[in-house]
Amino acid sequence: MSLTMSLTVGFDLDMTLLDTRPGIKAAWQELSAATGTWIDSDLVITRLGPPLAHEVAEWFPAERVPEIVDAYRALYREHALPGALVLPGARESMDAVRAHGGRVAVITGKYGPNARLQLDLMGLETDILVGDAWAEGKGTALREHNATVYVGDHLGDIRGALAADAVAIGVTTGPYGEAELREAGADVVFADLTEFPEWLAGHLAG
């Protein structure tokens, strides 16, 4: 099988394909109002990436975390879905993978059903979707789907790519700059996904 025919490229979702910060901020504000618990939503949206339960635990006692996670996920569907923006180059990057005969995999820490709703709303088609995956857990998903490239904005995304022996591509559209992504082990760092299609063509040309 040729390289292009066997190509699967994985992408993170939040702050890689989509800027979900406006909607996520709105959902956390609604959660704060519903629970009567003060939450710094501006701080929350600076540290997207890790599993939702990690962030919930910053604001609620451990025994309430499962309940609050469920409440947030329900609020997300109403308040966060409409607030997302497609990041520059995202559509073109997904199209480039398919133009080379490959499959697009979105592997995200976001709750899978909400990730599906978000992608559908934004008109982003993915061949594979894996939710609730983080860091080395993303590596497991990448291996399961034979992905050889993974693109993400978070240090946890780089860890996932490295765990799968995939090419680790960082984008600086999230909380980390080029130096931090490279220090974490990124093979390539882009300012945003507008640089990806040309890189992919060169990568496949070998």
Percent of the chain residues past pLDDT 70, beyond the cut: 98
Name the β-bridge partners of 106. 11, 129
Identify the band that residue 84 occupies on the pLDDT scale cut at 50, 70 and 90: very high
Q: Do the beta carbons of residue 1 and residue 14 sit within 8 Å?
A: no
Average pLDDT over all residues of the chain: 96
pLDDT of 28 above 50? yes
Catalogue the E-assigned strands of 115-198: 128-130, 149-152, 167-171, 188-190
Instruction: Supply the pLDDT for residue 2.
Output: 41
Can you tell me the distance from the alpha carbon of 12 to that of 197, in angstroms, rounded to the nearest whole number? 16
Instruction: Supply the pLDDT for residue 4.
Output: 43
Instruction: Supply the pLDDT for residue 3.
Output: 44
**How many residues does this entry show for the chain?**
206
Instruction: Supply the pLDDT for residue 70.
Output: 97
